[in-house]
C-alpha cells in the first residue's frame, strides 16, 4: 500500500483503507504518493511548545485562581463563567503539550497508545474551537451590554452564562467525537504517526475529507465576521458617546473608559488575527495539496505544508493571549491582579476571604446617561 500524509492537525478525518489493492494500483496518484513533511518542525516545535507549556500553565492557573476568588462579585457572574470555561479549555490544551513535545522530539513517532493519541488530538481541536466560540460569546456579551445595557441588566446573567457555556462545550465535543472514536495512530514505514500518515484510497474519499475541512473553514470565517461586526458596532457606539459627566457619588469624570474599551476590542480581534485566521487561510489550499487533488508542483505543496506548520504554532499562542483578554475585558480582573501583587510584594499571604476586595470592586449604580463600560457587567 502507498501512503501519504492527510493531515498534520487533529481536525483532519481518516480515509477508510478497505479498498482492494488492485484499485489502488490503478491510481497513478497513489503510486507516486509521498509523505509531505517539514523537517524544521522537529527542532522548532519542542522548544516552542515547551515555552507555551510553562507560561501557559502558570498564566491559566493564576487566571483560574483569580476568577475563583472573584466569585462574590455578582455583577461579574456571566463574564466570569465564560472566562472560567475558556481557561479550562486552555488548561486542557496545556496539559497535553508534553505528549506533543515528545512526539516531535522523536521526529513524528508516537510512542503512546492509540487512545492517548485520540485524546491529545481531540483536545487540540477542542481548545481551538472552544477558544473561538467563547471569544465570540464574550464579544456578543459586550456588544449587548454596550448597546442595550438596561435589557442586559434585567436578564438572568448567571443562568444565561451557564446555558451558553453548556451549548459551546456540547457543540465542540460533538464535533470532536469522530477523532475520539476513529483510530488515530497510523503506521508509516515502521513509524507510528499520530493523526498523520493516513492511507488514501479513492478520489471520492479524498473529496469527502476536503469537504469536511472547507465546511469548518467556512463556519470559522462566518464566526469571525460576527466578531468583527460586534466589535465594530461597540467601537462606533462608544465613540459616539459624549464626554461623561462627573459622577454624583465622587464628583469626578470616569477616566479612560473609551480607551480601555478599545483596548479590549483590539485584544479580542488580535487573538483571532494572530492565532486563528492564518491557520484557516492556509488550511484550504494545504488540504488540497496533501490530498493531491491539484496538480501543483512539489515546491508549492512543500511551501504550503511549511506555512501550515507555522500556523499550528500560532494557534498554540491562544492559551497565552486569552489571559490578556481577561485583563481588558473587565476592570475587576485587572484590579484584583494589582491588589494581589501588591500583597505579595508586601509579604502578605493572600486571604481566602475576598469580601473586602469584591466590595471595593463592585459596581456602583450609574446614571442612565453615563457611558456603560465594556469592562463591567451592568448591575442587576
Question: What's the pLDDT score for residue 154?
Answer: 63
| Cα within 13 Å of Cα(103), Cβ side | 23
Task: DSSP letter for 378, please.
Answer: P
CA dihedral of 326, 257, 70, 323, whole degrees rounded to 10: 10
- Please tell me whether the overall predicted TM-score, pTM, comes out greater than 0.95 for this model: no
Is the residue at 237 inside a domain? yes
Please report the sign of the dihedral spanned by the C-alpha atoms of residue 327, residue 333, residue 339, residue 341. negative
Dihedrals phi, psi of 192, to nearest 5 degrees: -90, 110
Q: Is residue 376 part of a domain?
A: no
- Residue 195: left if φ>0, alpha if ψ -120 to 50, beta else—which one? left
Structural contact between residues 346 and 307, judged by C-beta atoms closer than 8 angstroms: no
Residue 207: per-residue pLDDT = 80
* Inside any domain, residue 6: no
3-state secondary structure of 255: coil
**Buried-state track 344-375, b at ≥16 Cβ within 10 A, e below 16:** eeeeeeeeeebeebbeebebeebeeebbbbbb
Residue 287 CA to residue 276 CA, distance in Å, equals 16
Task: Please answer whether residues 151 and 144 qualify as being in contact, where contact means their C-beta atoms are separated by less than 8 angstroms.
Answer: yes
pLDDT at res. 195: 75
How many domains in the chain? Answer: 1
Instruction: Tell whether 141 is covered by a domain.
Output: yes
Q: Is residue 216 part of a domain?
A: yes
Low-confidence residues of the chain, pLDDT below 50? 1-32, 75, 198-199, 201, 251, 349-380
- Cell numbers given for 94: 496545556
**9 belongs to a structural domain:** no
Place of cell 438596561: 150
Summarize pLDDT for 8-44 with one digit per residue, the tens.
444 343 333 443 433 443 444 444 456 677 889 999 9
Cβ-based neighbours of 141, under 8 Å, separated by 6 or more: 78, 79, 82
Distance from C-alpha of 74 to C-alpha of 95, rounded to nearest angstrom:
31
Owning domain of residue 322? 21-242+254-361
Give the per-residue pLDDT at 164. Answer: 93
Q: Flag whether 8 is in a domain.
A: no
Q: What is the pLDDT of residue 244?
A: 56
CATH of residue 260's domain is: 1.20.1070.10
Measured between alpha carbons, how far is 219 from 253 in angstroms, rounded to an integer?
A: 43
CA 230 – CA 139 distance, rounded (Å) = 6
What grid cell was written down for 283? 488550511
Instruction: For residue 356, give Cα distances in angstroms to 164, 360, 377, 378.
Output: 30, 6, 19, 20
Which residues are 357's β-sheet partners? none
Task: Tell me the β-bridge partners of 194.
Answer: 185
User: Nearest 5°: phi and psi at 348?
Assistant: -100, 140
Indicate whether 218 belongs to any domain: yes
Q: What is the pLDDT of residue 77?
A: 75
Amino acid at each position: 500500500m502507498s501512503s501519504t500524509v492527510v493531515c498534520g492537525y487533529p481536525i483532519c478525518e481518516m480515509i477508510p483503507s478497505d479498498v482492494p489493492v488492485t484499485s489502488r494500483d490503478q491510481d497513478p496518484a497513489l503510486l507516486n504518493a509521498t509523505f509531505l513533511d517539514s523537517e524544521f518542525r522537529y527542532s522548532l516545535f519542542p522548544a516552542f511548545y515547551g515555552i507555551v507549556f510553562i507560561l501557559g500553565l502558570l498564566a491559566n492557573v493564576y487566571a483560574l485562581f483569580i476568577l475563583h476568588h472573584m466569585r462574590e462579585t455578582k455583577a461579574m457572574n456571566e463574564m466570569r463563567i465564560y472566562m472560567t470555561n475558556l481557561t479550562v479549555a486552555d488548561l486542557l490544551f496545556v496539559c497535553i503539550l508534553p505528549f506533543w513535545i515528545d512526539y516531535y522530539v522523536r521526529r513524528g513517532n508516537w510512542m503512546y497508545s492509540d487512545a492517548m493519541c485520540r485524546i491529545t488530538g481531540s483536545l487540540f481541536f477542542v481548545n481551538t474551537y472552544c477558544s473561538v466560540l467563547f471569544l465570540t460569546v464574550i464579544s456578543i456579551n459586550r456588544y449587548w451590554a454596550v448597546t442595550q445595557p438596561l435589557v442586559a441588566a434585567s436578564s438572568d446573567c448567571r443562568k444565561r452564562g451557564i446555558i451558553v457555556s453548556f451549548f459551546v462545550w456540547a457543540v465542540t465535543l460533538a464535533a470532536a467525537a469522530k477523532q475520539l472514536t476513529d483510530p488515530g495512530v497510523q503506521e508509516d514505514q515502521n513509524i507510528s504517526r499520530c493523526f498523520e500518515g493516513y492511507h488514501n484510497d479513492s478520489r471520492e474519499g479524498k473529496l469527502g475529507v476536503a469537504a469536511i475541512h472547507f465546511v469548518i473553514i467556512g463556519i470559522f470565517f462566518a464566526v469571525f465576521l460576527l466578531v468583527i461586526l460586534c466589535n465594530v458596532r461597540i467601537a462606533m457606539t462608544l465613540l459616539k458617546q459624549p464626554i461623561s459627566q462627573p459622577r454624583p457619588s465622587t464628583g469626578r469624570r470616569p477616566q479612560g473608559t473609551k480607551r480601555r474599551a478599545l483596548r479590549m476590542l483590539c485584544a479580542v480581534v488580535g487573538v483571532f488575527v494572530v492565532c486563528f485566521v492564518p491557520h484557516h487561510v492556509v488550511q484550504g489550499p494545504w488540504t488540497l495539496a496533501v490530498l493531491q487533488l491539484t496538480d501543483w508542483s512539489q515546491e508549492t505543496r512543500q511551501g504550503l505544508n511549511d506555512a501550515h506548520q507555522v500556523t499550528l504554532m500560532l494557534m498554540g499562542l491562544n492559551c497565552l493571549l486569552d489571559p490578556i483578554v481577561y485583563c481588558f475585558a473587565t476592570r475587576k480582573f485587572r484590579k484584583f491582579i494589582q491588589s494581589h501583587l501588591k500583597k505579595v510584594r508586601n509579604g502578605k499571604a493572600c486571604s481566602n476571604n475576598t469580601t473586602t476586595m469584591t466590595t471595593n470592586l463592585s459596581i456602583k449604580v450609574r446614571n442612565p446617561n453615563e457611558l456603560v463600560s465594556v469592562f463591567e457587567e451592568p448591575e442587576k
